[in-house]
Amino acid sequence: MLDGMFSLVLLDTRDNSFIVARDAIGITSLYIGWGLDGSIWISSELKGLNDDCEHFECFPPGHLYSSKEGVLRRWYNPPWFSEAVPSTPYDPLLLRQALENAVIKRLMTDVPFGVLLSGGLDSSLVAAITARHLGGTKAARQWGAQLHSFCVGLEGSPDLKAAREVAAYLGTVHHEFHFTVQDGIDAIEDVIYHIETYDVTTIRASTPMFLMSRKIKSLGVKMVISGEGSDEVFGGYLYFHKAPNKEEFHRETCRKIKALHQYDCLRANKATSAWGLEARVPFLDKEFINVAMAIDPEWKMIKPEQGRIEKWVLRRAFDDEERPYLPKHILYRQKEQFSDGVGYSWIDGLKEHAAQNVTDRMMQNAAHIFPHNTPTSKEAYYYRMIFERLFPQNSARLTVPGGASVACSTAKAIEWDASWSGNLDPSGRAALGVHLSAYGQQHVPSVSAGMEPQEIIRDDIPRMMEAGAHGLAIPS
């Protein structure tokens, strides 16, 4: 069960009673519905309930439902859930070991697999640990000891460049998939149908992942290991630069983890499973979360004057001079949200397309057409129109979270900076004064504290496989 990663249904055939338990964090999706005849329905997708249920809703993570009791009850109650501020000193070796154990645990597989590699910190660390521990495992004996990595992006995107260098450093067989803005726009309706949301950030990021997952599955790969969850656990989003104190910093990480099932986990699970691909996320291992969330948040605070950028505790834990996991400039690369990293023109193209399909008059009437979670941008309105056509039930629209956000923040965190209230966009570039390519600023390369600028793309990278290459050479 990989430490509570999956949901579970137990049926007692003696009286047909049952218990349903959802995984701790919400890595996989689950919904519960009630039929007109009093029946209870459980489904991993909304579309499995909308024709047969009078009402349905998200089955909350870490809960179980007993047909005898008829109520939802929480079974997962870790120390961090109360949002009490912890005080455990930072131990880099303990944190490193906890993540390595989480990755190793997810190497148990009997199917061809690989890693999703964006070239950012989280996916690069997962790839580095996987490459380091793959040899000698049953998976290596069955499928080969050379790791396969996958990346998607627009031509010339930040992720593609960084991922190539990481892949070369780790010696993976790297598969690079390109898409155009038009490819993404053409897939939007399919993405909303499969991801089952109208949340702007989720759709922006799900589209390239959806396109990539199809390519990966066509190569014969059935499982991928990914880096979701790290930004929530360590406060890696750029808006955390503005956290006023460690108490607010910690409470925001708790809020972000609790909401993962509605955002990043929803994307990672459904964008891959739409093509029969399984995604595993070691950063959301329960034991790892317990270790990471017990650290005194003072250590997680972003303090540029001390050389501590976002996720410094994680970066420092894997900064090994004797046996480096990653090149320094990758280990200290600035955070890029997936929807930004695949290419900045992706989001700009989406906004332009939405503007062509949503008029000013439509926006003026938005509150009357969509009184719940009223769209505040033409892009949001465009996604909402498609969602409502596919899922017209009121229960469906209530499963999608709402509220203001800047750079993926919760509504509460907007209070940290007064200027954000006038710049509400979930892109990381909305973190004005923080992101190196913020809206209205000229893009410059990411440089970690104390380092010289470095070019992160080479033309002679070996072991490179472009999109459309032949299937994986995996030994039988």
DSSP string, 302-352: -BGGGTB-TTHHHHHHT--SSS-SS-HHHHTPPP--HHHHT-HHHHHHHHH
121/309 Cα distance (integer angstroms): 12
Burial of residue 343 (CB within 10 Å: 0-12, 13-18, 19+) is buried
Tokens standing for residue 398: 């209530």
Q: Is 465 helix (H, G, I), strand (E, B) or coil?
A: strand
CA separation, residue 451 to residues 74, 165, 227, 473 (Å): 47, 17, 25, 39
The residues with which 256 forms a beta bridge, in sequence order, are none
Tokens standing for residue 177: 């998939």
Q: How many CB atoms lie within 10 A of CB 428?
A: 27
119/352 Cα distance (integer angstroms): 28
User: Which positions make up the binding site for ATP?
Assistant: 116, 152, 226-227
The length of the chain in residues reads 476
- Residue 433 makes CB contacts below 8 A (sequence gap 6+) with none
Secondary element (H or E) of residue 55: strand 55-58
CA angle 345/348/352 to nearest 5° reads 130
Which of the 8 DSSP states describes residue 81? Answer: G
- Domain-wise residue ranges, the chain: 7-77, 80-399
380/362 Cα distance (integer angstroms): 12
Burial of residue 275 (CB within 10 Å: 0-12, 13-18, 19+) is middle
Tokens 């329960």 found at:
286
Burial of residue 174 (CB within 10 Å: 0-12, 13-18, 19+) is buried
Secondary element (H or E) of residue 127: helix 121-134
Report the pLDDT value the prediction gives residue 460, as an integer from 0 to 100. 35
375/352 Cα distance (integer angstroms): 16
Which CATH code fits 80-399?
3.40.50.620
Q: Calculate helix-pair angle for 200-218, 181-195, nearest 10 degrees.
A: 100
Burial of residue 394 (CB within 10 Å: 0-12, 13-18, 19+) is exposed
User: Which positions make up the binding site?
Assistant: 116, 152, 226-227
Helix then strand then coil, in percent of the chain rounded to 5, is 45, 10, 45
88/94 Cα distance (integer angstroms): 12
Residues (pLDDT < 70) of the chain are: 1-5, 335-343, 421-476
121 and 230 in contact (C-beta within 8 Å)? Answer: yes
Q: Which of 365, 321, 410 is nearest to 420 (CA)?
A: 410
Report the pLDDT value the prediction gives residue 260, as an integer from 0 to 100. 97
99 and 288 in contact (C-beta within 8 Å)? Answer: yes
286/284 Cα distance (integer angstroms): 6
Report the pLDDT value the prediction gives residue 439, as an integer from 0 to 100. 46
Strand 148-153 vs strand 278-280: parallel, antiparallel, or unpaired? unpaired
Q: How many CB atoms lie within 10 A of CB 447?
A: 15
**CATH of 7-77 among 3.40.50.2300, 3.60.20.10, 3.30.930.10, 3.40.630.10:** 3.60.20.10
439 and 429 in contact (C-beta within 8 Å)? Answer: yes
Is 80-399 in the same CATH topology as 7-77? no
